[in-house]
Amino acid sequence: MDITTLIRSIKPLDAKSQKQARIRQDNLTKPKGSLGRLEDLSIQLAGIYRTAAPKITKKAIFTMAADHGVCAEGISAYPPEVTAQMVLNFASGGAAINVLGRHVGADVIVVDMGVASDISWPSSIVSKKVRKGTRNMMREPAMTSSEASDAIMHGAELGINAAENGYDLIGIGDMGIGNTTAASALTAVFTGRPVAEVTGRGTGIDEDGLLKKIKVVEEVINLRRPDPSRPLDVLQRVGGLEIAGMAGVIIGAASRGVPIVLDGFISSSSALIAAGLAPESKSYMIASHRSVEKGHRAILDYLGLEPILDLRMRLGEGTGAALAMNIIEASCKILNEMATFESAGVSQKDGG
């Protein structure tokens, strides 16, 4: 299996199923369009699942963790060792994503893509470590091209395996101190927006810290000169291992006809990579929420994705994806379980 084969196997959404779903939506006991995004989601899912009666039975969220060498430039409010500490917190079920995963009935799968630690993880942690964190991209490219490719393929394999094990709704989330710096660089490169417009406070840096972070991202882009027409090149120069892994999950899941629920800023930056490599994968993406991170809106606008929620969140981990899953599932139930005007014996408005 290689990435090119996977990309070619991603099918366009099934127009016939979508048309049938739209006809049914328009005949349910409600004014046409009155359920807004719920109707749109159900029609998107009909196209993804290739059936006019889409149903969700098993949900998973991949929380992918890795460290970032650029932390050596002092761009984070937290020390790098927090990444490994949080992975242990995930393993013990004490993090926000664990709580929300349980709440919505989604299995949380934590993956070490590149945590800079020699800790022996509990068996619940999936190890796909490519290397112990990226290199400091102020000094050299974040990773080699082979490391970037390996990380994407590890993610793709996880997405494929999840689909083959019956998961029909997959969310992605992240953990990695310093990863908003990488995401800001990716966002500026792909969207063409000024760095200052897409770089936020991350874990909570002050004004001086923000100005320093913006300067670091600007210098990184000037030094590394990533080419947006070559997504793998951009990832290799200014990306992150967990970002690569999430991009792989998107491509792998889409290749098996499974929708992917994006979380916030970091996971959406991985969607930039996935969409660049596999444009058809964008049809399989669902934006769960809009983060308060400045760059997230730029990514969603660039990809043409409308978020379901806006709760002023900026945690990551997959928390927004978890919360959106119940709404996504509800869209299917509305389509399948709601009565039509004919079956309920309810009169439609004049003219249909």
Check if the beta carbon of residue 186 is closer than 8 Å to that of residue 272.
yes
Q: What is the distance between the alpha carbons of residues 86 and 169, in angstroms, rounded to a whole number?
A: 25
**Phi and psi dihedrals of 197, rounded to 5?**
-80, -15
DSSP H/E element including 286: strand 285-287
Check if the beta carbon of residue 21 is closer than 8 Å to that of residue 49.
no
Could you tell me how far CA 149 lies from the centroid of its own chain? 18
How many C-beta atoms lie closer than 10 Å to residue 79's C-beta?
Answer: 10
Q: What is the distance between the alpha carbons of residues 30 and 126, in angstroms, rounded to a whole number?
A: 46
Catalytic position from the list 317, 329, 337, 342? 317
Q: Which two tokens stand for residue 21?
A: 């779903």
Angle at 312 between CA 306 and CA 317, to 5 degrees: 85
Q: What is the distance between the alpha carbons of residues 216 and 212, in angstroms, rounded to a whole number?
A: 6
Q: What is the distance between the alpha carbons of residues 4 and 7, in angstroms, rounded to a whole number?
A: 5
Asked if 317 is an active-site residue, the reply is yes
Q: Please list the active-site residues.
A: 317
